[in-house]
Chain A
């Protein structure tokens, strides 16, 4: 039965998934940045 709780749950779903993808995206970029900062030096 569609209730107020269900509509709130839908809102939690889209915000939660966006939040997790944003966090994962930021972590992905952070790891790539770390690789450039503390990764192995380039060979000359």
Chain B
């Protein structure tokens, strides 16, 4: 009757830690509603892949019978082979985004750029702490505040820490309402946070909305070719939305496609949360560096806005710079909430939304540039 307790006897302490991690992720998803669409499947998947001799990953049964596991198959096909899942998800994300606030105030592109500073700061910190270049770059890209970009870069660079990077990227995106206000208050005064901004948007024609995704794809593709898959699919989704003749496809992309891939992506990522890959001292360091990346993204955006204020007659509320990270639409809402707290009735949401959607594009550019630049040194 030993076969009945064989599984139990092979549970390791590292696997028990992963059961705890899985339960924490499920708790954060259900009780705190932190990115539940991703954290719940990731949490449950973390338990599935860490059960001894788990059938969801490839096994050799009784030393001779090879069995294929579904989660390993999903990972090999959906992520390892061509990063299909995160890239296809970008179609849905592109279809959900309204670039109107950015098109009416295109100067917001610069805030999106400034708010990617944390990525490169984190790469330097990771290198200083002894990570090799490909891992440092993959850890730094957590600061892109974008799950698909983080997954894509860490996969292409063959990072050893895909699991920890994925958990960090998605967890910190959900913690933006906590991380960003703290970082903003570090580098601004109450008077600066209370600056009012008027909103006089330029008109955005339908032709502009249709031309924009095509133009962005070409420009970004020429500057950062490695990002063509991400930016191309993001902009394809946006073109589906804006063309006005494919409403059914646009709706499918925003709902069914996005939900289906999100459902499978969380479970698939859990393959990289096997105890032997995840329970290492480096995982805690990665979580710490990822948090630093988010903080310095925010600080980079805010300081850039303060720098521009030296030259602008009509002052910019520096918190708009913080909205330049890619966590859309959470970051713009956090900035608006802070603005109302500091100065009731102060509406900077549309400015923040413009910066926020530009951050979506800038993070993809950053991912492509990181792949391009790091590959030269590998």
Binding site for B on A (CB under 8 A): 1-3, 5-6, 8-13, 15-17, 19-28, 30-32, 34-35, 38-40
Contact = CB atoms under 8 A, between A and B. Distances in A.
A16 B120 contact: yes
Interface stretch (B60-68, B305-313, B357-365): B357-365
B127 A38 contact: no
B113 interface: yes
B124 A9 contact: yes
Interface in B194-238: 202-203, 205, 207-208, 211-212, 215-216, 219-220, 223-224
B110 A24 contact: yes
Contacts of A8: 127, 133, 377
Interface of B: 102-103, 106-107, 109-110, 112-114, 116-117, 119-121, 123-124, 126-128, 130-133, 136-137, 202-203, 205, 207-208, 211-212, 215-216, 219-220, 223-224, 358, 361-362, 365-366, 369-370, 373-374, 377
11 contacts: A8-B377, A9-B136, A12-B370, A16-B116, A16-B119, A19-B223, A21-B114, A27-B215, A34-B211, A40-B203, A40-B205
Given A28-B107, A40-B203, A34 B220 contact: no
Contacts of B128: 1-3, 6, 9
Contact of B212 (A3, A6, A34): A34
Name, among B103, B109, B128, B215, the residue most crowded by chain A CB atoms within 10 Å (CB to CB): B109
Given A5-B133, A34-B211, 20 more contacts: A1-B130, A5-B127, A9-B123, A9-B124, A12-B137, A12-B370, A12-B373, A15-B369, A20-B113, A21-B113, A21-B114, A23-B223, A23-B365, A24-B113, A27-B106, A27-B215, A28-B110, A31-B102, A34-B212, A38-B207
A39 to B, nearest CB: 6
B358 A24 contact: yes
Given A19-B369, A27-B106, A38 B124 contact: no
Nearest to A15: B373
Contacts of A6: 124, 127-128
Contacts of A38: 205, 207-208, 211
A23 to B, nearest CB: 5
A24 B373 CA distance: 18
A29 B377 CA distance: 32
Contacts of B373: 11-12, 15-16, 19
Contact of B370 (A5, A16, A32, A34): A16
A39 B208 contact: yes
